Amino acid sequence: MVVLYMARKKRLPAAPDTLLWERASLQARHQCYDSQRNLPTGNAAASTFLKPSRMTRARNASHNDTANSHRSMEWPTWLLIGTLYGSWLAALAWYAHGGAWGALLALVVVSAWYMSLQHELVHNHPSTNARLNRWLGLLPIAVWYPFDIYRRSHLAHHRDELLTYPGQDPESNYLDPADYAQRSGIMRALLVAQRTSLGRFFISPAFAIFHLLWPLRQGVYWRSPKMRWTWLQHAALLALMLWGIQAWTGMSLLTYLLCVGYPCLGLAIMRSLYEHRPAALPAHRIVVNEAAWPWRLLFLNNNYHAVHHAQPNLPWYDIPNAYWAQRDHFVQGTGGFLVPGYVRLFVRHAFSPIDHPAQVTRPQGNANQNPEP
């Protein structure tokens, strides 16, 4: 699987300037919605990269399965599915035979990889049959998110014109400044800590799980038959999976939840630590990260995030070639939002926040209030 993946990757040019993403970030903030009345209009590369109408066409094309009856079998994705499920079972078998911590580490990596696969399934890969894709991603290997809830949330995230807007972009890392100011001192400290790589891994999963489960306490949430079925199905599959794991390997429920489910979520969301930033133009909010091959394989090339947002119907194994064929176009289109790999980013911002969680992401007066955990 790894050999196949690396064979599809083109040679990399020289590594970019380490500080390029920081300069780009500052430039984008200078054009942010603090000065919404004077939106930049002269950047041709950015204005043609992801116009709202273009984004809408790309999004519609991505999720119109029947429009492309000649789509290939996507055998690399089928191979990935077999490899992933096989690796998960092998790691469980290793644990059953005394692998302990090594097996748990393998399960964390494989489960985070499974979340990347679920992302592909949401975008209609490998099959044109949405029901089949759904069944391939229903097993709660990564524990927390029901597939159907993740699907709805992630497709809402692809409204690129709303990227980073709190309350409208479900995957936003930011709060409106007025919202942030109302939080307690401890909560503000935790929010700032999550803009570091260590905080992202150790603290952000708790926040994500809280915001996923908090609505379950509201009666109105359960009035939807679809929502009731989603959670009933997820809970049943999770209970059955955890029972089977304990019966086969002796791993307790808490061990899987705390030593696999929690850290695998932390690893998976490391990708999005600095995947989007506030900026006036939607195209300037989307990163390109020229990561090393292990990260690319783990995240299924979603590090080339600008390519994914421009062409959300593109399968994971075609994204690198699409990027390197038009590298200058994509980098210029993001306003220079280029990160030279995850390791530099994570090390540089292990304790230093990459930016502040309180950001003006949109015109004043449209802020939505977010509940405080």
Single out the residue of 95, 87, 43 nearest to residue 251, CA to CA: 95
- The answer on pLDDT for 35 being more than 70 is no
Q: If pLDDT is split at 50, 70 and 90, which confidence band does 366 have? A: very low
User: How far from the centroid of its chain's Cα atoms is residue 71's Cα?
Assistant: 25
What average pLDDT does this structure show over 251-272? 97
What does residue 358 show for φ and ψ, rounded to 5 degrees? -90, 110
Ranges 69-78, 208-217, 355-364: which has the least confidence: 69-78
For 304-348, the DSSP string reads SHHHHHH-TTS-GGGHHHHHHHTHHHHHHHTTS-EE--HHHHHHH
The CA–CA distances, whole Å, from 286 to 140, 269, 280, 281 equal: 29, 16, 12, 10
Q: Which helix (H) or strand (E) holds 288?
A: strand 288-289
Instruction: State the number of CA atoms in the 13 A half-sphere of 178 facing the CB.
Output: 7
Angle at 111 between CA 108 and CA 117, to 5 degrees: 150
As a whole number, the mean pLDDT across the chain is 83
Residues 6+ apart with CB under 8 A from 290: 12, 15, 16, 303, 338, 339, 340, 341
Q: Residue 9 pLDDT more than 80?
A: no
Counting residues of the chain whose pLDDT is more than 90, the rounded percentage is 72
Q: Please give the model's pTM, rounded to 2 decimal places.
A: 0.81
Q: Give the residue, 151 or 33, on which the prediction is more confident.
A: 151
Q: Which of 330, 324, 279, 292 is nearest to 309 (CA)?
A: 330
Confidence of residue 26 (pLDDT cuts 50, 70, 90): very low
Residue 166, both tokens: 């709190």
Residue 288 pairs in a beta bridge with 338
pLDDT at 173: 94
Per-residue model confidence as pLDDT tens digits over 108-137: 999 999 999 999 999 999 998 999 999 999
The pLDDT score that the predictor gives to residue 197 is 97
Pairing state of beta strands 338-339 and 288-289? parallel
Mean pLDDT of 183-202: 97
Give pLDDT, residue 221.
Answer: 84
pLDDT at 363: 62
